[in-house]
Copies of this chain bind each other. A is one copy, B any other.
Amino acid sequence: MALHFDPAEFSARRARLDAALDAAGLDGLLMFAQESMYWLTGYDTFGFCFFQCLYVDTAGTTALLTRSADLRQAQHTSNIDDIRIWRDAAGATPAGQLKDMLSSLGTAGKRLGIEYESYGLTAANGRAVDAALDGFCTLEDASGLVTRLRAVKSPAELAYVRKAAELGDRAYEAALSQIGAGADEGDILAAMQGAIFAGGGDYPANEFIIGSGRDALLCRYKAGRRQLDPRDQITLEWAGVYRHYHAALMRTVCIGEATPRHLELHAAAAEALHEVEATIAPGRSAGDVYQAHARVMDKHGVEDHRLAACGYSLGAKFTPSWMDWPMFYDGNPWVLEPGMVMFAHMIIMDSTTGTAMCLGRTSLVTETGSEVLSRASLDLEVK
């Protein structure tokens, strides 16, 4: 058994879920998001790449339908007792087997929530489930239900988040030890990811972002490594990850020298980050945080910043993305609460001069405001 939380923690989560289902007028929930399953039961797998469903209800039922490759995985990593298997074969109909499972559990005619917004339920499988359960029970989109519960972390979860933050700082130190003229991006990535694995940490839910030269203006991972020029810039976005909990960081580092534009944009990014962090507090909305960012960006004449969010929640996430809800975007009414873990990233990509400047780190929402979880300096590094 590799449960990372004690039984009392899982019981408390189940009680919160039952209350949320009751409040939503639902008898049970068809979980397809791996994040939901991990949070509720500890079940830890990338098996959600195939059809898989965890059914739970307020009467205490917990039953998993998955492939055989995940039978032992569920036994070793979760507290789920009732595990059922669908078999790979020509003509396999897992959605039909889901109906059989639900039928055996007495759910005919019930009102069930379903996580339609989940990488674990593709549109094709969603259509198959809808067809299989049509007339058997009532389905209602409840994609945000567990997400809301997960957003507020318990003390046991925060211990893992703090460990993740420590690994994130170590990864930055490892990066800085490599960065310099002639350094290969592949070696930098190896050092960063190596620091996290050697520290007992996990793969990130998305690839670390690494780009230099013109590609320092990108904010996604891509294939193809490059060596740093004598005068160069490199943008990194990464996360310490422990027990799948993420603590993200973002930096642009200069090689050789910082141009005047780098210095100017760094000042803007640092000012924006401080404004944002001052706004991350209980009772403020995610939209309020976005506005704090937008005001500083407008003041500094940064272009195009209004198109995108300036941060988001972090937690125990699975691929393809560590970005969690809520996001700091325009008008988002989601109100911050103590125990939420929020990543704020100031991303300035100046196409006119080809200058990148990114600055980001993760904060914990406290009872009175927020606490930065990283000890890494915000100073502009020149290597």
Contact = CB atoms under 8 A, between A and B. Distances in A.
B215 A186 contact: no
A190 B193 contact: yes
Contacts of A77: 222
A382 interface: no
Interface of A: 2, 4, 32, 44-50, 67-70, 72-73, 76-77, 85, 87-91, 116-119, 121-127, 129, 141, 143, 184, 186-187, 189-191, 193-195, 197-203, 206-207, 214-215, 217-225, 242-244, 287, 304, 306-309, 318-321, 323, 327, 329-333, 349, 351
Contacts of A323: 49
A201 B224 CA distance: 8
A184 B124 CA distance: 41
A187 B193 contact: no
B198 A190 contact: yes
A73 B233 CA distance: 17
Contacts of A143: 124
A127 B124 contact: no
A365 to B, nearest CB: 21
B122 A220 contact: no
A88 B327 contact: yes
B122 A127 contact: no
Contacts of A117: 122-125
Contacts of A309: 88
28 contacts: A2-B222, A4-B224, A45-B220, A46-B207, A46-B220, A48-B320, A67-B307, A73-B218, A76-B215, A87-B306, A88-B309, A88-B327, A88-B330, A90-B287, A116-B122, A116-B123, A118-B122, A118-B124, A121-B122, A123-B123, A124-B143, A126-B126, A184-B200, A186-B198, A203-B203, A203-B207, A223-B244, A319-B320
A200 B214 contact: no
A48 B307 CA distance: 17
A187 B195 CA distance: 9
A218 B331 contact: no
B201 A330 contact: no
Nearest to A45: B220
Given A220-B69, A320-B46, A186 B206 contact: no
A198 to B, nearest CB: 5
Given A32-B123, A119-B122, 15 more contacts: A4-B224, A46-B321, A49-B321, A50-B321, A68-B307, A72-B218, A73-B220, A87-B306, A119-B320, A121-B122, A122-B122, A122-B126, A190-B195, A202-B223, A203-B207
Shortest beta-carbon contacts, A-B, top 8: A123-B126, A90-B331, A49-B321, A68-B307, A319-B319, A117-B124, A116-B124, A190-B197
